[in-house]
Amino acid sequence: MEIDGESNNCWRRLRVGCAKKKTLVLLVFVTLIYLVLHWDVTKCADFLERPHENHRIRLKPAASPAFNVFDLGPQDYQRLVDLNDFYFTIIDPEICNAPVFLLVLVSSAPDHLHQRLNIRTTWGHRRTEVRIFFVLGRVQDNNLQRDIENESEIYRDIIQGNFLEAYRNLTYKTMTAFKFMLYHCEKASYVLKMDDDAFVNMPLLLNFLKNDLSVYGTDNLFLCNDMTGSPVIRDAHSKWYVSEMDLPGDVYPSYCAGWYVLLSPDVLFRLYESTQKLKYLSIDDALIYGIAAQECNLIHTDFSRYTLAFRRLDLLFNGTYDWLPLLFGAPNMNPEQIKNCWLFFRTRPVLASLRGALGT
């Protein structure tokens, strides 16, 4: 009996010891998981607190949903601001089903075949973590439409809406890009909205997103070149003309210059949802990134110091801007300038992070 009692005591002590070890192992495992998921927050919190005092980027855990497209209602897919019969004339609904780190949506004129080819062979060349799509409007030239359809079959990167291609329909084009993301590419971690006459320093941009922000994506990301104090143009002969009836007041709300805008999916969703409820305005940047943003209490962060905007492009190539970590070029660049920028940055070392750049 004594032997059995001692055996039982030993067995109980052994079980208690094993339980403690299991608990310790579990605590270590949970701690490691926490550090992996939250490392970016601790590493770059000071960087993320720096932009606009009312704008705070929030990092999120992996696979955290940014929006629910069903909140937009059953009729939303066929509606585009004030159009109730919208549909995609060119789209592959399955083309973007898989998760993508960076989705780039490029507004392009239908006849800008050369500009699109230039992007595909320079800063937009194929990468596994980046998907690029060109967004176009409907054309009335049957030959041009066939060319676009052939281009789409070859590259599978054309998105075309049924609205007529025109300068005063640019709001439809941007909203078509947003609709494509929300309904057909919803697994994107980041979204970059671009024009086809701008340059992206893609290696540095990817490092910024991964190392300064998070590989899992963020919430509340809204970066662009700020346009504050822009007057509303009342000259009826100007392509930027807006009537007093369409928009009262002399100055637009602060908005983004639309040649590049970097967004998290939740911000894109809120901008889209807000714009869908507003009266149509042909000045797409002011409506979407200004008026709609104001309606849903979004504030963008000016990122112009990381661009060539308001700087001389020729000085880039003589070393004048070597101190400057450039993520984007400038608006209204021609294909040759874009290619030259791409060739230049290919020969330069790529910063792992923007932290510490510009004395920050």
Give me the residue spans of the domains in the chain: 1-48, 62-359
pLDDT digit string (tens) for 227-261? 999 999 999 999 999 999 999 999 999 999 999 99
pLDDT digit string (tens) for 29-82? 555 544 444 444 333 433 443 444 445 566 655 556 678 898 999 999 999 999
Is 328 within 8 Å of 193 (Cβ atoms)?
no
Residue 161 predicted with pLDDT over 90: yes
CA separation for the pair 212, 231 (Å, rounded): 35
pTM equals 0.82
CA angle 262, 50, 37 (to 5 degrees): 70
Q: In which residue are the tokens 């004048």 written? A: 320
pLDDT at position 21: 52
Residue 167 predicted with pLDDT over 70: yes
Helix, strand, or coil (residue 101): strand
- Could you say which architecture CATH assigns to the domain 62-359? Alpha-Beta Complex (3.90)
Tokens describing residue 353: 């992070």
| Three-class secondary structure assignment of 71-83 | HHCCCHHHCECCE
CA separation for the pair 356, 302 (Å, rounded): 18
